[in-house]
């Protein structure tokens, strides 16, 4: 059964449902499987979302749903039974990143489901406003959704409709909702029980190829495919080609991301279901970067991880790249943390040879600004306290009256106050900058320096991974 556009009239505001337990407010959305309303509990006034099961080919007559033909009536009846059964199973699943299902009941010749009300934009809305997420934020959202899906799988359920439109960014993070296509799995093997009802295709680009068949098995690996497509969208702000197009030869475009993440996405989006990671945990393990290869510096060899530790401890330029050309090409990554660079977050590099701008991210730009404020505040405070204490000491030594001696002592106390206040201010600002550092950040203040000696252009990086990529991009001009 192919679901057409839904044109059924919505229930009016103030309609009571569930034997008076809920009062409808307004329609908030509709799709091929029904209409969603905002509503309030009549007892507590709490806001909830209520889904009404209804399909194209149905009409509303005095509030009740009536079907145009016998086939539609049978389908609505079967879907209602399925929805009641799935809602009962979903009530037993509890996870902070999964929308809660409160109850389901029959009324008006159809089925209603009361669910948790979620405040916030969907992931798609967020990306349309903000652009692609950085790697850390994208993996955080995907990890939260993976936890919710793993909770479903532990209860022998698969979601089958994971996509950016079905995840809402709330105060507690990304929360998965919309359980229209949820289906049970076999107890022994979550990839063997097919959905007995039609209308299971999902959304092109996010639906795995097995969703297009009526009897093809679906399971946890089906959700892995959809979550992989969602992560692809979060990192690249583009929907991957549909499974049908890819089967016809359309290739998956490679994103500008770390190689291990590309490999993880490629594995999740494999067309054969048995070629994908078999669980959310297996998929998440692929997000972890492999141990980096050894990196050779001027005087010694060490791993990239050890290099970053050494850089943060020594706070000195560790990796030097010398170019014969002034117009260097920079990788589109933050020079401090090596994550994807943000727009309007370039980091200013000052040197006697001039000013240059290198790619950065908003968080690294902020902790560097706070570090500069720390240094400046301490410097000004110490510098100001020296002349104050000098004048105070002079007045004390040359005093010929109690008033002059008192003024001298007062100035000395003021100098001590300014000195320690500036030291404390600098320490607090420095501590704040350290708190903002990500594990991949190489330095709180100065991740790169630049100079020109009249013949060559010398770049000194404190992030070895960035230096390696910079060297590769400028290979023709490296000395």
- Three-state secondary-structure class, residue 66: strand
Name residue, tokens 């889904």.
Answer: 51
| Total length of the chain | 479
- CATH 3.30.200.20 positions along the chain are 16-116
pLDDT digits (tens, 9 = 90+) for 239-285: 999 999 999 999 999 988 888 899 999 999 999 999 999 999 999 99
Model confidence at 337: pLDDT above 90: no
Residue 442's nearest CA partner among 374, 325, 347 is: 347
Q: For residues 382 and 33, what is the distance between their CA atoms, to the nearest angstrom?
A: 69
Q: For residues 254 and 250, what is the distance between their CA atoms, to the nearest angstrom?
A: 12
Which pairs from 114-117 meet CB under 8 Å and 24+ separation?
114/18, 114/22, 114/39, 114/48, 114/49, 114/50, 115/48, 115/49, 115/50, 115/51, 115/177, 116/48, 116/49, 116/177, 117/38, 117/46, 117/47, 117/48, 117/49
Q: Compare 143 and 354 and report the one with higher pLDDT.
A: 143
Q: Any bridge partners for residue 50, and if so which?
A: 37, 114
The correct CATH number of 123-285 out of 3.30.70.2860, 1.10.510.10, 3.40.710.10, 3.10.105.10 is: 1.10.510.10
Q: Compare 459 and 109 and report the one with higher pLDDT.
A: 109
Q: Compare 7 and 226 and report the one with higher pLDDT.
A: 226
> In the numeric block, which tokens belong to residue 318?
């560790």
Phi, psi of 330 (to 5 degrees): -105, 140
pLDDT digits (tens, 9 = 90+) for 124-144: 999 999 888 888 899 999 999
Predicted confidence band of residue 346 (pLDDT cuts 50, 70, 90): confident
From 35-44, 65-74, 434-443, the region with the lowest mean pLDDT: 434-443
Q: For residues 305 and 247, what is the distance between their CA atoms, to the nearest angstrom?
A: 40
Q: What pLDDT shows up at residue 223?
A: 96
Q: What pLDDT shows up at residue 306?
A: 47
- Three-state secondary-structure class, residue 457: strand
From 76-85, 162-171, 375-384, the region with the lowest mean pLDDT: 375-384
Q: For residues 222 and 26, what is the distance between their CA atoms, to the nearest angstrom?
A: 34
Cβ-based neighbour number of residue 74 at 10 Å? 11
Q: What pLDDT shows up at residue 114?
A: 97
Task: Please provide the CATH number assigned to the domain covering 16-116.
Answer: 3.30.200.20
Name residue, tokens 């850089």.
Answer: 311
Predicted confidence band of residue 304 (pLDDT cuts 50, 70, 90): very low
Mean pLDDT of 325-333: 84
């Amino acid at each position: 059964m192919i679901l057409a556009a839904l044109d059924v009239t919505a229930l009016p505001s103030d309609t009571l449902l569930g034997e008076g337990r809920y009062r409808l407010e307004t329609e908030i959305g509709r799709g091929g499987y029904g209409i969603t309303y905002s509503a309030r509990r009549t007892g507590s006034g709490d806001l909830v979302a209520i889904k009404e099961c209804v399909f194209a080919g149905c009409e509303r007559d005095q509030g009740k749903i009536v079907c145009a033909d016998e086939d539609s009536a049978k389908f609505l009846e079967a879907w209602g039974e399925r929805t009641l059964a799935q809602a009962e199973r979903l009530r037993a699943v509890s996870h902070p990143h999964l929308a809660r299902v409160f109850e389901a009941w029959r009324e008006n010749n159809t089925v209603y489901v009361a669910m948790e009300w979620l405040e916030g934009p969907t992931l798609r809305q967020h990306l349309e406003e903000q652009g692609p997420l950085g790697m850390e934020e994208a993996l955080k959202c995907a990890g939260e959704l993976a936890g919710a899906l793993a909770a479903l799988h532990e209860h022998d359920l698969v979601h089958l409709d994971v996509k950016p439109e079905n995840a809402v960014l709330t105060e507690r993070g990304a929360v998965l909702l919309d359980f229209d296509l949820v289906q049970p799995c076999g107890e022994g093997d979550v990839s063997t029980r097919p959905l007995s009802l039609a209308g299971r295709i999902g959304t092109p680009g996010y639906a795995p190829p097995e969703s297009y068949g009526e009897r093809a098995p679906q399971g946890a690996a089906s959700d892995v495919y959809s979550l992989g497509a969602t992560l692809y969208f979060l990192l690249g702000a583009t929907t991957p080609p549909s499974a049908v197009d890819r089967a016809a030869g359309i290739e998956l475009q490679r994103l500008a991301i770390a190689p291990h993440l590309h490999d993880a996405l490629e594995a999740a989006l494999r067309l054969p279901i048995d070629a994908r990671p078999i669980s959310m945990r297996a998929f998440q393990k692929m997000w972890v970067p492999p141990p980096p290869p050894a990196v050779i510096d001027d005087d010694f060899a060490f791993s990239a991880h050890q290099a970053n530790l050494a850089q943060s401890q020594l706070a000195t330029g560790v990796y030097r790249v010398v170019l014969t050309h002034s117009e260097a090409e920079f990788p589109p990554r933050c020079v401090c943390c090596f994550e994807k660079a943000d727009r309007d977050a370039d980091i200013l590099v000052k040197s006697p040879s001039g000013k240059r701008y290198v790619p950065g991210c908003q968080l690294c730009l902020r902790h560097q600004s706070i570090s500069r404020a720390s240094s400046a505040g301490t410097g000004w405070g110490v510098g100001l306290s020296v002349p104050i204490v000098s004048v105070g000491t002079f007045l004390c030594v040359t005093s010929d009256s109690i008033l002059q001696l008192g003024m001298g002592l007062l100035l000395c106390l003021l100098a001590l106050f300014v000195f320690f206040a500036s030291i404390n201010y600098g320490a607090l600002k420095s501590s704040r900058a350290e708190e903002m550092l990500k594990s991949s950040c190489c330095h709180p203040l100065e991740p790169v320096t630049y100079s020109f000696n009249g013949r060559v252009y010398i770049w000194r990086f404190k992030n070895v991974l960035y230096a390696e990529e910079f060297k590769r991009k400028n290979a023709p001009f490296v000395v």
